[in-house]
Amino acid sequence: MRDINTAKANIETIGFLDIDIDVNIDLFAAIEKLKKQKNAVVLAHYYQEPDIQDVADFIGDSLGLAQQAEKTKADIIVFAGVHFMAETAKILNPEKKVLLPDLKAGCSLSDSAPPALFKLFKDKYPDHIVITYINCSAGMKALSDIICTSSNAEKIIESLPKEQKIIFAPDKNLGAFLNKKTGRNMLLWNGACMVHEIFSLEKITKLKIRHPKAKVIAHPECEEVVLRVADYIGSTTGLLKYSLDNEASEFIVVTETGILHQMQKNSPHKTFIPAPPNNSCACNDCPHMKLNTLEKLYLCMEYETPEITMDEDLIIAAKKPIERMLAISKQYGL
Ligand code: 13P
Ligand code: SF4
């Protein structure tokens, strides 16, 4: 076994605790034990690998996870998701320890909006309100008026007067979808998610021909050409609910494949077909989300590292627009 202090010191370089685990350990049981011992809660996004979803206390979309983080009584929040999600949990709970199994679990969409560049853009439009998708850094949140997720974006936009000028960042696809839905003309930042941008319309069309009764369900981070062929568009929670409630027995799922685990669990008799990307892969995994593993989850709980740490002023500035989002969501019963 590697020396624990050396391993901890290496986290900044490699992102996670790189120490050997006894192969005889039952990781599920060990994680359950650590949860009780440390009063820790494990929050997992639907895009996490199935084992992590199965051991989590709460599985959800970005809004559900932020809401759980806000109300948890646990001392330690273990976030099985990507960095911006764990950072949001820390902003809402500055006094708690927030752990992320792999610190390098980032997000291409978040990376597409560097705060310094965004500030230059925003300063050109002083009469605009900034609504920012939660998939962004704390620095971006601090420059925003209201945060939103794919579950509540429409309601958040509609809570503002029709004539209010708005900048929407960082996802241009979600922004374009929302402009169409709400009839607004929000100024869009030119960012996108590497996972949702590469779905192949041609392959989805071929799948539809082979499965004529299948419903196409898509996440609004997809490009407009793909969304045009969808029977339903929604957040991961929305897609899951639709697949449960709809009477169809086949679904072509146009989002990250992790969500198929819960879909299949909730509707074991239905068939879920992951939509293929425009490369040689059959399905579409988020390389950032999938950096977390059950082993890394166990190690981060055992050694309480890697931990999310943040500057106090940044926490205060980033918290305001998140709280505004949570308050509006509550108002609409979301
Ligand atoms: P939701 O969890 O809001 O559906 O967003 C999906 C996503 O891309 C998270 O990274
Ligand atoms: Fe970011 Fe896209 Fe991965 Fe979600 S799926 S974490 S938006 S890169």
- Domains for the chain: give ranges and CATH numbers: 4-106+289-309 (3.40.50.10800), 109-192+315-331 (3.40.50.10800), 199-274 (3.40.50.10800)
Helix (H/G/I), strand (E/B), else coil: 70: helix
pLDDT of residue 282: 72
d(CA 81, CA 45): 5
Helix (H/G/I), strand (E/B), else coil: 91: helix
Counting as low any pLDDT under 70, the low residues of the chain are 1-2
Q: Which residues, listed in sequence order, are joined to residue 133 by a DSSP beta bridge?
A: 148
Pocket lining for ligand 2, CB < 6 angstroms: 82, 107-109, 135, 193-195, 256, 286, 288-289
pLDDT of residue 272: 98
E strand spans, 258-316: 271-274
d(CA 204, CA 119): 38
Q: How far is the CA of 218 from the centre of ligand 2 (A)?
A: 14
pLDDT of residue 10: 85
Q: How far is the CA of 173 from the centre of ligand 2 (A)?
A: 13
Q: How far is the CA of 236 from the centre of ligand 1 (A)?
A: 6
d(CA 334, CA 327): 10
Of ligand 1's atoms, which has the minimum distance to the CA of residue 81? Answer: 10
How remote is the C-alpha of 46 from its chain's centroid? 8
- Identify which of 162, 155, 173 has the alpha carbon closest to the alpha carbon of residue 223: 173
pLDDT of residue 280: 81
Proximal ligand: closest to the CA of 45: 1
Conformation bin of residue 129: beta by default, left when phi > 0, alpha when psi is -120 to 50? beta
pTM for the model stands at: 0.96
pLDDT of residue 5: 85
